[in-house]
Amino acid sequence: MKSTRKGLRDGELYKDNYGRIACSACEITLKKESDPDEVFSIRTCPDCGERWKELR
C-alpha cells in the first residue's frame, strides 16, 4: 500500500478543484477510513478498491 503523497507524484491520484484527492483511473473521490489508534488513515477508491495511506 503506497502513501497518498507517492500516489500523487506517480500520477495515480490527483487533487480536484476543491482539493479533494481522487483516483486517476476512475476519476472518483476517495473515501476515508480512520482508526483513532493509528497515526494514519486509509483512503480507498470505492470503484476499483485501490488503497493508500495518508498521514494525519
Q: Residue holding cell 480512520?
A: 34
**Is the per-residue pLDDT at 3 higher than 90?**
yes
Q: How confident is the model over 36-49, as a mean pLDDT?
A: 92
pLDDT at res. 37? 87
Average pLDDT over residues 14-31: 94
Residues 20-41: what's their mean pLDDT?
92
How far apart are alpha carbons 43 and 6 in whole angstroms? 13
Domain limits of the chain? 2-55
CA–CA distance from 3 to each of 7, 13, 41, 51 (Å)?
A: 6, 10, 10, 9
